[in-house]
Structure 1
Amino acid sequence: MVSHSKTSRLRKVILGTAMATIFASAPAFADVVKLGLLAPLTGPAAADGQEYQRGAQMAIDEVNAAGGINGHTFELAIGDVKDQSASNVTSAVERLLGDPDVHFMMTGYASLSNFEIDNMAEAEMPYMLAATSQQTKDIIAPAPDKYGCCWSLTPSFDAYNTDVTSFAEKLAADGKISLPTKKVAIISSDNAYSKTISEGMKKTFTEKGWTITVDEIVPFGEVTDWRSILAKVRENVPDLIINTDYLPGNSASFLNQFLEQPTKSLVFLQYAPSVPEFVQLTGKNSNGVIYNLLGGALTTPKNPRAAEVAGKFKAKFGVESGTYGVGLYEIANVYFDALKKVGDPSDHAGIMKALGETDKQTAQGRLKFDPATHLAMQGDDYIPITFFQIWDGERTLISPAAYATGEFKIQPWMK
C-alpha cells in the first residue's frame, strides 16, 4: 500500500506535470473537473452509498445543464469504501487523490473515525463530509488552522447525547406518555458513530435519574437475530427502548423481532428509519417509530429549500431521498458556490477558504461553520436537531415545535 506522504508527493508531481502540459498547450483551465466521492457502494451501508451518488450526481447534472462554471463542466469520480474498514477507505482515498483532475472530495461518512481528514490535509484537498462529527471535532479542534481543507455539514453530536432524554421527558410532562419507572434499555453497535451516541445517552440518562436496565453492544456488521437481547428487555420492562445501530437492515430486524412480543415501551431508533430501505423492510411495523436527525432535510414551510430539493430528487430518481441524497446534493452545491467565488478549481487554498466562509440556507437549515471545529453550527437558528415519527410510510417532523409539521401520536404497541 502506498504511504500517505508518498501519495501526496505523487499527486503533486502528477498535478504539476498536468498543469505544465495545460499551460503549454493553451487553455488556462481543463474542460472537465472531477468531484471525488467516497461512498459505501457495496457492503452493509450500500443503501446510503447509493443516496450519496444520486445526490451528488443530481447537483452535477444541474450545473452542467446550466452551462457549467467558468467554462468548466463536472463529473463524478467514485471511490467505493465498501465495508468502511481502514484498508478499503485508504485505498479509495489514495486512488482519488492520485487523479490530478479531482479538485474536491466529499462524503456522507467514509471511515466513521474520519481518519481520512489527515490525508486530505496533507494533500491540500478541499473536503466536505457529514456524520460522526465528534470524530471530526476531535481531529480538527486541537489545530483548526492545520485543517483548512475540511468542513462538516453535520453539527456537533452533543444534541444526540442529550435530547432524546429531554424529548421523552417533555412527552411525559405534556401528558402524551407516562414514565412510571424511568427505566431505559440502550442497545448499540460496536462502531464509532453508534458507540459515541450511546455512551453520551447513558451519561445523560444517569445524570437525570433514570435506571439503565439493559446496556448491550453488538458487533459492527449485519445482525439478524436480536431475540436474546430482547428477552433481557422483556425481563425488566423499561419505559424507553433505544437502539443506536444505524444500519437500516439491522434496525429493521430489531423492530420486527421486538413486535413479535412488544412491551409498552417508547421505541427510539437512531438514524436508520430515515433511510427509505427501513420502511421497505418493516412495512406497517414502522408505524409510530421515532428517530432524530442532526443535519436532516428540514422540510417545513419555514425552509422551502428542503421541499424543493426533495421534490427534484424524487422526480429524477423515482424515490424519496433519505438524509444523504439531499445532503450530498447540498455539499456539492457548497463547492460550486466556492468555485464561483474563486474561479480556478486548482486554487485549492482559495476554495478551502471560500468553503469555510459559507453562510447560506440549505435543506438542512442555515449552514455556517464554527471556525474552532469546522462543524456546522447547531441550533434552531442554524441546523436544529429534529425528531420524526413514521406513519404509513410517511415521515412527520414532530419536534422542535417551531418547525413541526405534525404532532406525536402514541405508538401502536403502547396502547
Structure 2
Amino acid sequence: MNRDFARGSRAFRGALLTSAALVSLAAATPSLADTVKVGLLVQLTGASSADGQEIVRGAEMAIEDMNAAGGVNGDTFELVIGDTKDGAAGDVALAVERVLSDSDVHFVLAGYASLTGFEIDDMREADMPYMLAGPSGQTAGIISPDPDAYWCCWSLTPSFDAYNTDVTLLAEDLAAEGKIELPNKKVALISSDNAYSNTIHDGMVKQFTDNGWDITVDEVVPFGEVNDWRTILAKVRQDPPDLVINLDYLPANSASFMNQFMEDPTDSLVFLQYAPSVPEFVELTGENSNGVLYDLLGGVLNTPKNPRAAELNDKFKEKYGVESGTYGIGIYEMLNVYFDAVDKVGDPTDHEAIGKAIGETSKQVAEGRLEFDPETHLAKQGDEYFPIQFYQIQNGERVLIRPEQYATGEFQLPPFMKMDE
C-alpha cells in the first residue's frame, strides 16, 4: 500500500481506515478485556525528548498506581507507545497507525502529537476516545464546527487566547505597580515557524500594537534546532527594548537564547514561552535563567491552595528523582480522567460512552478545576477553572507570581535590569 507521509494528508488518513475498522470492531465487542491497553503518542527521540521522557513517566506512574489499587472493575491497564519523533506529520501518522492497529487499545492520549491536530480526525474515524494537551486553537478549530461528531476527543489545554494578550497586560501592570519601568514601550518579538508559536505571535502583535507598543524586532526562525541567536540578538541590542520575547518553546533552543542574551544583556524584561517550565531549561542555563518570566495555561497549579498538585509533585519526584514539568503530571491527570470514565461506564470497549463520560468530567485536578467547554472540547479557562499562571525563575526556583490569589512569591527585578533612582 502506498502512503503519503509528507504532510499527514487526508489521503494518508484514509490509508489508516483498515486499522481503524479493526479497532471499531474491537470496541463493539461486549466482553471486558482483562488488560486494557492505552495508546500514548509521544516524542521520544526528537527535539522534545525531554518532554517525551516526562510524559512517559507520568503515564507509567498513573497506570502503576491504578493497577496496584486493583485496576478498574477488575481490569488492569498497559501502555502502548507510538513515537512521534520530531512531530513531523509523517512521523505522527506512523505513530497513530501503530497504536490504532492494536485492537486491544481502547484509549489514546498525548501531551502533543501534531501541532496542527490532524490526528484528531483519525481518532474520530476510528471511534477512539482521545485526550490531548496540544495547541488549543487548532483543536478548537477542528472540533467547534461539529462538537457532537467529536464525542471522542477532549483537551486538557484551555483556550490559548490569554497567551496572546496577557504578557502585554502583565508588563503594563508591573509598571503601574512601580516594579519595572517602561521608558520606551518597545518590544522585540522572536518566534519559531510552527503552528503553536505562530498563533501566539500573531495574537501578541495585535495586542502590543493595540496597546501602543512599538515592535522594533519581529523575527521568525525555522522550527527545529537553533544554536546561534547572536544575529537576532545584535538587532535587539541596536535599539534596546523594554521587553524581549522568544516564543521558541524547545528547551534547548530557549536555553541557548538566554545564555547568549546574557553575554551582553539589555535592560529589558525577558519572557520565554513554555520552555522554562521544563526542568532541563534551568539545568542548561544555570544562573543565566534568574529573572526570566514565562506563563502556562493548563500548567500544574502547585500552590498550598491546590493540595492535589503538591501531592502529585511529591510522588513524581520521589519516584523519579526529578520534578515534573507541565506534562508529567498532566498526563497522570488525563489518565485518571479516563479511569473515572471507565468506572462510570463499566465497559472500556464502549468507546462512545467513554468519550462522552470524559466530556462530563467535573473535578479538581493538579491544574485547577477541570470542566470542558461543550463547544470546543477544551478545558475551561479562568480563575475558577484553569487560570493563566505567570512564573519567574528566582535563584533556580520557579515562583508563581500571578494570579495573586495563588501566588507563591512576588516579582523580583531581574539581575540584568536596573531602575532609575
Q: How many correspondences in the alignment?
A: 409
Residue 359 (structure 2) aligned to one of 352, 356, 359: 356
Question: Match for residue 269 of structure 2?
Answer: 266
Matched, 1:252 2:255: yes
Question: Which position in structure 2 is the counterpart of 1:65?
Answer: 68
Divergent runs of 4+, >6 A: 17-20
Please give the residue correspondences for 1:317-328 in structure 2 after superposition, counting only pairs within 5 Å: 317-328=320-331
* Change over 3 Å in CA distance of 1:236–1:14 after alignment to 2: closer
Check whether the contact 1:5–1:122 (CA below 8 A) recurs between aligned residues.
no
Letter in 1 for 2:374: P
How far is 1:368 from its partner?
A: 0.2
Note the alpha carbon deviations across 1:4-23, whole angstroms, 9 max, x for none. 34533434346647977xx8
Asked if 1:8 corresponds to 2:13, the answer is: no
The equivalent of 1:278 in structure 2 is: 281
Alignment equivalent of 1:173, drawn from 168, 173, 176: 176
Please, what TM-score do these two structures have when normalized by structure 1? 0.96
Equivalent residue runs for 1:185-264 within 5 Å: 185-264=188-267
Q: Which amino acid aligns with 1:101?
A: D
Residue number among 122, 128, 132 corresponding to 2:135 in the alignment? 132
The whole-number CA distance in structure 2 between the counterparts of 1:288 and 1:181 is 20
Counterpart residue number, 2:312:
309
How far apart are residue 199 of structure 1 and its match?
1.0
C-alpha change, 1:229 and 1:45, in structure 2 (3 Å) is: same
Shift of 1:45: 0.6
Q: Distance in 2 between matches of 1:12 and 1:203?
A: 45
TM-score (norm 2): 0.95
CA distance in 2, matches of 1:13, 1:46: 31
| Residues 404/59 of structure 1: CA separation in 2 closer, same or farther (3 Å cut) | same
Determine the C-alpha separation between the residues in 1 that align with 2:230 and 2:312: 40
Shift in CA distance, 347/282, structure 1 to aligned 2, threshold 3 Å: same
Query: Which amino acid in 1 is paired with 2:56?
Result: Q
Distance 1:135 1:15, change over 3 A: closer
CA–CA distance in structure 2, aligned partners of residues 304 and 385 of structure 1 = 18
- The residue type equivalent to 1:156 in the other structure is S
CA distance in 2, matches of 1:159, 1:255: 24
| Preserved CA contact (<8 Å) 1:396 1:406 | yes
User: Secondary structure in 1 aligned to 2:114?
Assistant: coil
For residues 57 and 274 of structure 2, what CA distance do their matches in structure 1 show?
A: 19
Which residue does the alignment assign to 1:338?
341
The alpha-carbon deviation at position 302 of structure 1 amounts to 1.2
Q: Percent identity, aligned pairs only?
A: 67
Question: CA–CA distance in 1 between the matches of 2:66 and 2:194?
Answer: 36
Query: RMSD across aligned C-alpha pairs, in angstroms?
Result: 1.3
Whole-angstrom distance in 2 between the partners of 1:66 and 1:14? 28
Structure 2 unaligned residues grouped into runs of 5+: 4-11
CA contact (8 A) 1:252 1:278 kept: yes
| In structure 1, distance between residues paired with 2:165 and 2:19 | 45
CA distance in 1, matches of 2:127, 2:416: 53
Relative to structure 1, the CA distance from residue 410 to residue 302 in structure 2 (aligned partners, 3 Å threshold; closer, same or farther) is same
One-letter amino acid matched to 1:133: S
Please give the secondary structure, in 1, of the residue aligned with 2:416.
helix
Deviation string 1:250-308 (CA, Å, 9 cap, x unpaired) is 00000000000000000000000000000110011111111000011101111111101
Does the residue aligned with 1:178 lie in a helix, a strand or coil? coil
Which letter maps to 2:156? Answer: L
Do 1:286 and 1:393's aligned partners in 2 also have CA atoms closer than 8 Å? yes
User: Which secondary structure does the structure 2 equivalent of 1:33 belong to?
Assistant: strand
CA distance in 1, matches of 2:405, 2:118: 36
**Structure 1 counterpart of 2:363, one-letter code:** K
2-side partners of 1:125 and 1:345: how far apart?
Answer: 11
* 2:44 alignment counterpart: 41
Decide whether the 8 Å contact of 1:11 with 1:99 is kept in 2: no
